[in-house]
Structure 1
Amino acid sequence: MIHLIRAALTATLLLLIVLGPVSAQGQASTSPDAAAQETTLPDPLTPEAVREMVARMSDDQVRGMLLDRLDAVAQEESQDTPAATGQTLFATLHSWWTAFYTNVLDAVVKLPHLVSEEGKVIAGFVASFGGAAGVMTLLGLIALTVGIAYVVEQVAERLTKAWRKNADPTETATLRESVTFLFRRFMREIFGLIIFYFAARIVGRLIMTPEQLVFAAPLMTYLIWWPRLAAAVSRFILAPKQSSMRLVNVNDQTARFLMRHQVGLVILAGLTIFMVDFNLTQRGSLSEIRLGFWLDSAVYLYVIFIAWKARDGLSDMMRGTDPDRTEFDEWVARGYPYFAVGVAAAMWVIVTTMTGLGKTAQILLGAHYVTMFWLLAAPALDTVIRGLVRHLVPPMIGEGPVAERAYVSTKRSYIRIGRVIMSGIVLILIARSWDISIADFSAARQGFGTDLIEFLMTLAVGYIVYEVVSLWINRQLAKEQTSAAPLDEESASDGGGAGGSRLATVLPLLRVTAQIAIVVIFSLLAIGTLGIDITPLLAGAGILGLAIGFGAQKLVADVVSGIFFLIDDAFRVGEYVEVDGTMGTVEKISIRSMQLRHHLGLVHTLPYGEIPKITNFSRDWVIMKLKFTVPFDVDPEKVRKIFKKIGQQMLEDERFKDDFLEPFKSQGVSAIDDVGITIRGKFMAKPGTQFMIRKEIYNRVQEAFEANGIEFARREVRVAIPGLEHAEDLSEADKEAIGAAASGVVQAQIENDQKGGGQKQDDR
């Protein structure tokens, strides 16, 4: 066991001595062992010498030297990052500002020497290839390679032309046809570029030396292949020569301008990367030349020029052709050119600062250009999302204002979901360009940055779930609301509609409940990702809920009663109900109450806990009974035939035939009074249609009675007065007494009719 421990200590010490920092060699040992303090390292320090030294040392000496080495390494590592762990925010900002302005100042100071210093680099390059003749030979080989690769590309395109049929565009092409045409053309160009790329590589390797390829490969990549790829992408999006096929909302002039300058921008960016790479290859000092700074600055100035020159066209592009634009969409469209200017300026400041700090590894690979591209493309991608949603969203369900509102709401939900997903993809692509991955953050799980990323990801997922659930419920609600036949204004004003389906009543409450639950759950999960313990929050919420339950028992009773009313399907939105003498159409329901709209316009709010019973007048079917009073000499059989004929005519009328469940017919004589004979008729109809049918029946009965010589009975009051044959001798007092007696009889009869035998009268 002692030998194993000694061997392990020896191996560890050997690794620390050979691979450890050199600066640790001169530090004094802090071991309390005197022998360890007197031990000195052999010179030269070779693995064999170390093994011989360890073989002569005791276990305590080996242990002491090992501790010394570990302490030295720990001390040096702690001294390497003092600024990263202890620097204040103000000091960090000050260091960034210093790096920025010193970098700019240095570039300005060295600008007069740029041409001469770059001339020295080029002279060295020419000398390395044997003078001007060697450089001319190199350029000739590059031209030959490009020419051969282009010929191979054209031959490949001709050979595959029969496989790539693509019909010419038309002026009335649909979006699908336009995308198909442009995508096929884009893929043809990509196929040609791939052929060109591989042909150039093969030819270059055959006719050039490795030293020549070091110069030729970046030149062809950055200044030939990249611009051609940019042109293909621009032709796909802008279609400068096919306005009917254009995927974005810009005119021909703006499309041509943007395409030309996008290719020019790629050429300038490629030239910047190529020249920086060229200077590094030729061992030129970038800090002395500062060519990269000025070329990079020219790229940002070019972006600003494009955005400002084409600002009106870019705003039109951002607006798109969707008629359902919101104020936010219009604000984004107006601000996009200024956003592009701000992105270019911000990227210049960031790159300049990072260069001043010496962090140029990812900049040399073009990460800042990738970042700028995706930041500028993000608002344009938003326009693409709106265009796709406009053409891909499911068609509108039904007709009318309800269906239109549901359709617009569905579109906005799809757009918001697309925006969240697009933002996440853009952030991932930008992070990858800087060699940053979310997996690294998750594995490290260190610092506020990691917590913040997880926090934002949790909120994004919660928002998508929120929108998806709301979208599904809104679609179902729209389907339920538009499936029922709408009532006309005259019918709807009477109340008593059939109402919506059970789902149409429950879905609004389900939507609110689901939205609240999603917000609460994902908010707590997001807070938990920041390192905050959510257990006290849950406990506090439980205690608060208990307190609310004890302090608001009436509220709890209302909520529970409402749940059971909904379970029993006692009422639905749109139905006409009576609640303890209060009548009206159910207009709105919430968690604790319902609102009834009276047919005269009054709105009643009734808590569920105060509802003793509900009388529903709109469930399944309604029966309406009508009374007609005719004189005593009218034949009831004749009236029955008239009612039957009217009922048959109503069943044949296109306006009413679908609303009847049973036709209008006579029920015979229902009463005989001192006025005449009361004959009753009835019909059964769908809820909400009975009042329009009743009005039409009244009109037809009046016309039929008039055509058949039947008059409605009129109320008469006869006063028998002895000696009426001498009425001309009555005094004024006698006439007033007779009139008062007749009025009293009429008023008594009216009050009796209004009571209706103790039944309520419908004031409609």
Structure 2
Amino acid sequence: MLRFIQIAALLMCVCIAPTFAQAQMGLPNGTSSVPDTQVTLPDDLTVETANALISRLSDAEVRAILLDQLEAKAVQKPEDDNNVSDFFYHATAGAFTSITVAVERLPLLFTQQAKAFSTFYNDRLRGFGGLLKLLGYMALVYGSGIIAELFFRRLTRNWRILPPADPDNMQLRETIQLLVQRLTTQVVAVLIFVGVSRAVGLAILPEDILPIVAIVGLYLIGFPRFMLSIGFFLFAPMNPEYRLLNVDTKSARSACFHQFWIAFLLGFSGAIIAFNELHGVPMGEMRLGFWLNLSLHIYLIVVLWRYRDSMQSMMRGFDPDVSVMENRIARAYPYFAIFVVFAVWWVINIVVSYENFALLRSQPHYKTMMLLMFAPAMDTMIRGLVRHFAPPMTGEGAVAERAHASAKRSYVRIGRVVVFGLVIISIAGFWGMSPENVASAGVGPQLAAKLMEFLIIMSIGYLIYEVVSLYINRKLAAEQTASGFDPESQEIGGDGGGAGGSRLSTVLPLILAVCQATIVVVFLLLGLSNVGVDTTPLLAGAGIVGLAIGFGAQKLVTDVVSGIFFLVDDAFRTGEYVEVEGTMGTVEKISIRSMQLRHHKGPVHTIPYGEIPKITNFSRDWVIMKLRFTVPFDSDPNKVKKIFKKIGQDLLAVEEFKDDFLAPFKSQGVLEIDDVGMVIRGKFMCKPGTQFMIRKEIFNRVNAAFASNGIEFARREVRVALPSMDNGDLTEEDKAAISAAATQAAQDTAPGGAGDQR
């Protein structure tokens, strides 16, 4: 429903631009007289040359030169004093005055239009008989066109009927191909009707009736049917599986219906204007164009308001991945379109109040309205094209999926900024937005042109910003996918120590931030310089601030330089578990001056690079985990060794752990003998980050294997020798001694720290 509004406005500009503009503004038909000879003043004018020139000229020629000079002085009046207030006058009171003039001349419209019909009936038709003769000629002419069109439609019947299709298996290329095929046959059918009717009319019609028949055939029959063909292409009201826009069938049929009648209104405007011109009715005096223009805008506003829900659905498109901002834009779009229709109508009245009728001859207001209404709707088309033609996902996993979705959003943003730049350039071309043309139009000298240039520069800068971001983000995703590191899927509250990303994936976020900041600053300065802002003080101020920072924040410089050398040395990467002077955690984020460590228990430590004397990296390349088991003194170490070896071989066959081992779990023999039992140690080598899950599994399997083989873990015992035990009775003193000994033993074996600092 939105598209038919824009296309209707476009074809209206093409078909009825000259006549409709003259009707709206009442353009004068006469031409100004130009003198046969023109006297020009020499560039090096002196008193002598002036006297000599005056002596050769007649009084009329001297008067003409004086008038030219006075007129030039009037044109060169200071604009700074009057232009702003003059513009506000025309934007408010002047535009309102142009409306009141049209209302005041409303009675004249009826009398002048009646005069045109009377002239047509009496002078051209010459009574009722001529009217019947005209109707007969129309039937013959249009009947010939219909017969020729029906013959063509029969020949192309298979092209016009869309075959049944499965929307889930339809490719966009195939859909567009079939729709274009049908559109072509429908448009050619309309052209055959118009062409055959015109040929028959030229052959049989009298000269006084030929223009009327041609006007009716072109404006009231051909043009609306052509617009209806466009509506069937966009909305496919009878074939929802071929529909290009996300609207329901009822709304699609209503859109085609209103598209036809809007086109008929436009055609009627062109026909009545051409009719009045043929019969000598001055269009400017009756202001018929104002009322035709007003009726068109009212019709558009009513349609936009009535089908605002369908327009919101169309703006969301078929893609389910709609962001919050896109959803807000979709909800606001119908109201934006209504505002654009009203704003364009008001701009027309402003220009009319300037009496700058030449500016509107090419219909820039309708073209502008079409683009401003159509540009947001192109977002649907851009997302559809990206959905069908974006490169496929590279790799597998969550990182690849997020990178693919991010790349699609980047393609959409790039398409949007390209469309925005094209819209700005097109609007500038519609209104002749060079400084000279804008100044002659009297609508803010050079201001509008400078604004257009500023927006174009910002569009180019944003385009480069998105392209650079897209390239670096794709490289970053490729690096993360290749290394298997996903910073967003790290286990919260885990033990840490996992493998980090690659060296390039650690540096790329910093490169991206620097590139983005550089692009923003450069293009902002270019845009401000283009609109006349002197950027030299800004650059000088920035230099002074940088110098002040250099002297007053030497620690900051130290942090930045130290960070550069740490990154060059590849001392740490994002996702690795490191220790800095007793502070341990996973490298969660790096910036220009500091790094953030996330401890596995939750705290985040921010450490400036300049305060790092040494970094211990627990996640680089491989990890060796050594486990201690204490067994009673009478246990067989060889039996324990065989148990450990079997557990190691079994774990290599487990699907969950087999790819994580670099060396299997095995025994290292008896490490020491203490007062509890024998300490036997086992070890294994694995990839960083997997050691903790493997350790848990080994503990479970060792516990089960010891239980099945009759091996118990050694337990600390406290033995107290009591002389009174010979009698078999414990006194209160004996019980106190036993309790004190147990307490002392427990204190001796308790850990010295307040908790696990790892």
User: Is 1:103 aligned to 2:80, yes or no?
Assistant: no
User: Is 1:687 aligned to 2:694, yes or no?
Assistant: no
* Structure 1 residues 625 and 303, CA gap change in structure 2 (3 angstroms): same
Root-mean-square deviation (CA, aligned residues, Å) is 3.9
* Partner secondary structure for residue 19 of structure 1: coil
**Structure 2 residue corresponding to 1:307, chosen from 304, 323, 328:** 304
What amino acid does structure 2 have at the position aligned with 1:371? Answer: T
Task: Please show how residues 263-662 of structure 1 align to structure 2 within 5 Å.
Answer: 263-361=260-358, 363=360, 366-394=363-391, 406=403, 408-434=405-431, 447-482=446-481, 484=484, 493-662=494-663
Give the distance between the partners of 1:730 and 1:295, measured in 2 at CA: 117
Give the distance between the partners of 2:749 and 2:159, measured in 1 at CA: 96
User: Is 1:698 aligned to 2:699, yes or no?
Assistant: yes
* Structure 1 residues 629 and 507, CA gap change in structure 2 (3 angstroms): same
* TM-score of the two chains, using structure 1 as the length reference: 0.83
Spell out, residue by residue over 1:61-94, the C-alpha distance to the aligned partner (whole angstroms, 9 max, x if none): xxxx9xx987764443333565977634223333
* Partner secondary structure for residue 357 of structure 2: coil
Maintained 8 Å contact 2:398/2:486: no
* Structure 1 residues 356 and 590, CA gap change in structure 2 (3 angstroms): closer
* Structure 1 residues 203 and 643, CA gap change in structure 2 (3 angstroms): same
* Partner secondary structure for residue 467 of structure 1: helix
Taking only the aligned residue pairs, the percentage that are identical comes to 48
* Structure 1 residues 358 and 614, CA gap change in structure 2 (3 angstroms): same
* Structure 1 residues 196 and 625, CA gap change in structure 2 (3 angstroms): same
* TM-score of the two chains, using structure 2 as the length reference: 0.83
Spell out, residue by residue over 1:443-480, the C-alpha distance to the aligned partner (whole angstroms, 9 max, x if none): x9983333222111111111111122223333333444
CA drift of 1:427 comes to 3.7
CA drift of 1:205 comes to 5.0
CA drift of 1:532 comes to 2.7
* Structure 1 residues 523 and 98, CA gap change in structure 2 (3 angstroms): closer
CA drift of 1:668 comes to 1.7
Partner of 2:112: 117
What amino acid does structure 2 have at the position aligned with 1:470? Answer: S
Give the distance between the partners of 1:125 and 1:85, measured in 2 at CA: 52
User: Is 1:167 aligned to 2:163, yes or no?
Assistant: yes
Partner of 2:255: 258
CA drift of 1:495 comes to 0.9
Give the distance between the partners of 1:424 and 1:438, measured in 2 at CA: 19
Task: Please show how residues 181-192 of structure 1 align to structure 2 within 5 Å.
Answer: 181-192=178-189
| Gap runs ≥5 in structure 1 | 1-15, 46-64
Equivalenced residue count is 715
Give the distance between the partners of 1:145 and 1:579, measured in 2 at CA: 93
User: Is 1:714 aligned to 2:715, yes or no?
Assistant: yes
Maintained 8 Å contact 1:20/1:73: no
Give the distance between the partners of 2:306 and 2:725, measured in 1 at CA: 109
Partner of 2:22: none
Give the distance between the partners of 2:331 and 2:50, measured in 1 at CA: 77
Give the distance between the partners of 2:410 and 2:206, measured in 1 at CA: 59
* Partner secondary structure for residue 704 of structure 1: helix
Maintained 8 Å contact 1:31/1:37: no
* Structure 1 residues 573 and 726, CA gap change in structure 2 (3 angstroms): same
* Structure 1 residues 275 and 490, CA gap change in structure 2 (3 angstroms): closer
Give the distance between the partners of 1:617 and 1:85, measured in 2 at CA: 70
* Partner secondary structure for residue 537 of structure 2: helix
Maintained 8 Å contact 1:719/1:742: no
* Partner secondary structure for residue 669 of structure 2: strand
CA drift of 1:575 comes to 1.0
Maintained 8 Å contact 1:397/1:478: no
| Gap runs ≥5 in structure 2 | 1-33
CA drift of 1:353 comes to 3.7
* Structure 1 residues 40 and 313, CA gap change in structure 2 (3 angstroms): closer
Spell out, residue by residue over 1:520-556, the C-alpha distance to the aligned partner (whole angstroms, 9 max, x if none): 0111111111123323322332232122112111111
Spell out, residue by residue over 1:296-323, the C-alpha distance to the aligned partner (whole angstroms, 9 max, x if none): 2211121122123323333333333433
Partner of 2:71: 76
* Partner secondary structure for residue 253 of structure 2: helix
401-410 vs 459-468, greater mean Cα deviation: 401-410
Maintained 8 Å contact 1:169/1:181: no
* Structure 1 residues 167 and 228, CA gap change in structure 2 (3 angstroms): same
Give the distance between the partners of 2:413 and 2:110, measured in 1 at CA: 52
* Structure 1 residues 613 and 124, CA gap change in structure 2 (3 angstroms): same
Partner of 1:57: none
Give the distance between the partners of 2:242 and 2:690, measured in 1 at CA: 51
Partner of 1:20: 38
* Structure 1 residues 701 and 111, CA gap change in structure 2 (3 angstroms): same
CA drift of 1:262 comes to 1.3
What amino acid does structure 2 have at the position aligned with 1:167? Answer: P
Give the distance between the partners of 1:145 and 1:356, measured in 2 at CA: 44
Give the distance between the partners of 2:309 and 2:492, measured in 1 at CA: 52
* Structure 1 residues 164 and 21, CA gap change in structure 2 (3 angstroms): farther
* Partner secondary structure for residue 460 of structure 2: helix
* Structure 1 residues 219 and 358, CA gap change in structure 2 (3 angstroms): farther
Bigger relative contact order, structure 1 or 2 (CA pairs below 8 A, ≥6 apart): 2
Give the distance between the partners of 1:36 and 1:312, measured in 2 at CA: 74
Maintained 8 Å contact 1:717/1:746: no
Give the distance between the partners of 1:438 and 1:102, measured in 2 at CA: 28
Give the distance between the partners of 1:320 and 1:70, measured in 2 at CA: 65
Give the distance between the partners of 1:502 and 1:140, measured in 2 at CA: 86
Maintained 8 Å contact 1:491/1:688: no
What amino acid does structure 2 have at the position aligned with 1:467? Answer: E
What amino acid does structure 2 have at the position aligned with 1:335? Answer: A
Partner of 2:7: none
Give the distance between the partners of 2:250 and 2:409, measured in 1 at CA: 31
* Partner secondary structure for residue 87 of structure 1: helix
* Structure 1 residues 649 and 219, CA gap change in structure 2 (3 angstroms): same
* Structure 1 residues 210 and 518, CA gap change in structure 2 (3 angstroms): farther
Give the distance between the partners of 1:305 and 1:730, measured in 2 at CA: 103
* Structure 1 residues 123 and 31, CA gap change in structure 2 (3 angstroms): farther
279-288 vs 30-39, greater mean Cα deviation: 30-39
Partner of 1:89: 84
Give the distance between the partners of 1:448 and 1:491, measured in 2 at CA: 55
* Structure 1 residues 713 and 763, CA gap change in structure 2 (3 angstroms): farther
* Structure 1 residues 326 and 303, CA gap change in structure 2 (3 angstroms): same
Partner of 2:231: 234
* Partner secondary structure for residue 169 of structure 1: coil
What amino acid does structure 2 have at the position aligned with 1:385? Answer: I
Give the distance between the partners of 2:76 and 2:122, measured in 1 at CA: 44
* Structure 1 residues 304 and 644, CA gap change in structure 2 (3 angstroms): same
